[in-house]
Amino acid sequence: MNKPCVLVFAGLDPSGGAGIQADIEAIGAMGAHALPIITTLTVQDNDRVHAIHPVEPDLLRAQVAALLGKMAVAAVKVGITGSRDNVRVIVETLEGLRARHPSLPVVIDTVLASGHGDALSREDAVQTIRPLLSLATVLTPNLPEAERLCEGERDLLQQAQHLQSLASHVLIKGGHDEGEDVINHWFHGQERRAFQWARLPGEFHGTGCTLAAALAACLALGQPVAAAMQRAQAYVHRSLQSAYRIAAGQRVPGRWSAGFQEQQ
């Protein structure tokens, strides 16, 4: 049995709650296979990021060359990049892949800071990732990220209009809003859809990574964007219902448990 491969660029979280481990687990749980390339080493726990150390871009480039020389890529997921130099490598990679496969799905999780606001880049985070945005099939900013990407604009429709000038699909996540429900808004052309999920108590580590990775896996499996959106978000909600503790503070999504529930 062959599985489609998702090329992943993301950081290493030593707590195992977010970053590359979250991506590997979510992609595997959805039925695809992750090809993980670590862009950044971090010093962090399940709550805070204490330090970041970008990986050398030449190492990223060598890893990409080794993988693409042998393996077919069915989708790409991009998380934190660590540096402008790493972004250049990722842009080169995406442009090369798109030259051969123009419809290749690319999901970019526009991570600008940790959930507590800790920096994830030594440079200006917004300016660092801008060259990537126009290469996205789907952008998945949360509310604070959408505001920063749109230069302080707080109106949801204005944010969507701006971001849709870059990517054909935009999913603005509502987890940072208040209310009994979390409402995520998907925009595509003139189409708009709200996905509503009951807000679960507590805080979670790696939710955004999990959603973007699950979405990339669904697209790699050939699912239409609308179906992939629904399936990925339902999976994330189950993973939060199955979240567990590794220490005081944020809980870790139960990504494998949620995958097993889907198969049953």
Q: Residue 121 has what pLDDT?
A: 59
Amino acid of residue 131: P
Mean of per-residue pLDDT scores for the chain: 92
Q: Is the pLDDT of residue 178 over 80?
A: no
Strand ranges of the sheet holding 75-78, from the earlier edge strand across to the other edge? 49-54, 33-44, 5-12, 75-78, 106-108, 138-139, 169-172, 181-188, 191-198
pLDDT of residue 114: 55
pLDDT tens, residue by residue, 14-53: 999 999 999 999 999 999 999 999 999 999 999 988 998 9
**Is the distance from CB of 132 to CB of 81 less than 8 angstroms?**
yes
Q: What is the pTM of this model?
A: 0.94
Give 110-156 pLDDT, tens digit per residue: 887 655 555 555 557 788 889 999 999 999 999 999 999 998 899 99
Mean pLDDT of all residues in 218-223: 98
**How many angstroms from the chain centroid is the CA of residue 226?**
17
Banded model confidence at residue 244, pLDDT cuts 50, 70, 90 = very high
